[in-house]
Amino acid sequence: MIKKFSQYNENFQDTPEEYIKTALMKIKNKIEGFFEKEPERDPDEVISMTQAIEQGKKKSKKDKNMSLSDMGLSIESSELSKYSALYDNVTFKFSDPEFWYNLYITIPLNYVEMEKESDFSDTDIEFCSIKFKKYNYENNIIGQIGPRKIKIEDIDETFLVDLKIELDEDFPTEEEEFEIET
């Protein structure tokens, strides 16, 4: 029997797991981009005060909001993990002089609702779950925020700065509790 082309139905869509992996890779690249370094200049190079002021003006125009680097955070590692088919995630490890932090971003399989759409893609995944943990350097957990269900499009540097501020305010350390501003 010969099938007509209209009767032949082959599914060219990827699996939901592949779409989740692609969405997580995009989030990973986006967050890593927050920590891209500016080009280093030669330490022996002498710049004039006018040049330094111009560089400062350019930076202040470009960066109106506080950045993660301004808060003293540096990214130590990021890893895309596939622990199970239901809970693929990306994990980031950040540090500052006093603490280290883990940020987990998970897209559970049940967040992907393909519903037989022929043009479904990773950009159609709207939500993810985040968990943010704070540790001291003796590996003792100090505090945790989440898990929280959030929109993927809301993940930007301002969101992460606000998340860190919330974590630090909710779980202050002894030194942070007794600071006196003068």
| Beta pairing class for 141-151 and 99-108 | unpaired
- Any idea what the Cα angle at residue 151 is, between residues 150 and 155, rounded to 5°? 90
Q: Find, among 65, 140, 66, the residue nearest to 98 by Cα.
A: 140
Q: Find, among 176, 122, 142, 137, the residue nearest to 14 by Cα.
A: 122
**0.75 cut: is pTM over it?**
no
Six-digit token string for 142: 């100090």
Q: How remote is the C-alpha of 75 from its chain's centroid?
A: 10
Residue 61: the pLDDT is 47
Residue 10: the pLDDT is 53
Q: pLDDT digit string (tens) for 108-145? A: 877 777 555 556 677 778 888 999 999 988 888 899 99
Pick from 7-16, 32-41, 140-149: least confident:
7-16
Six-digit token string for 114: 């393909």
Residue ranges of the alpha helices (H) in 11-97? Answer: 16-33, 49-62
Q: What does each C-alpha distance from 50 to 55, 62, 154 come to in angstroms?
A: 9, 19, 38
Residue 178: the pLDDT is 45
| Cα dihedral 165→171→173→178 (10° resolution) | 80
Under 8 Å between Cβ of 108 and 100: no
Q: Please tell me which of 16-30, 39-53, 57-71, 113-127 the model is most confident about, judged by mean pLDDT.
A: 16-30
Average pLDDT estimate for 147-157: 91
